Amino acid sequence: MMESGMVMSRDPKPRLRWTANLHDRFVDAVTKLGGPNKATPKSVLRVMDLKGLTLYHLKSHLQKYGLGQQAKQQNTLEQNKESNGEYIITCTKSYVVSPQIVQPLANSSSSS
């Protein structure tokens, strides 16, 4: 184990075990750079400034982290829609569904 909190494997292609401490440093760096959509592996590497950390390690971790953040945002949007109590259901006609009333939308066509 290195002083930076990095744990390297003995594989020919050195793998990095992302400890909680190392991941926290990664998240801090990504946040400073404007989030996972703006941060690049090279810029994260520069901000983290850890000996032994490579672009190879950061590319996949940044990609996975970005996908995780994207999934969190999607989940939050879905929860917000649920709390508003309104949904749009598409079948042969469009309806707005609220906890109290189900009614056709004004602009839905009556042809099937």
**CA 68, CA 29: separation in Å to the nearest integer?**
16
Query: What pLDDT digit, counting tens, does each position of 5-56 carry?
Result: 666 666 666 778 889 999 999 999 999 999 988 999 999 999 999 988 999 9
Stretch 79-99: mean pLDDT, rounded?
A: 55
User: Amino acid identity of 43?
Assistant: S
CATH topology of domain 20-68: Arc Repressor Mutant, subunit A (1.10.10)
How far from 50 is each of 8, 58, 99, 101, CA to CA, in Å? 13, 12, 54, 58
Read off the pTM: 0.58
Residue 13 pLDDT: 64
107 touches 98 (CB < 8 A): no
Residues 65-87: tens digit of each pLDDT = 888 888 888 888 777 776 665 55
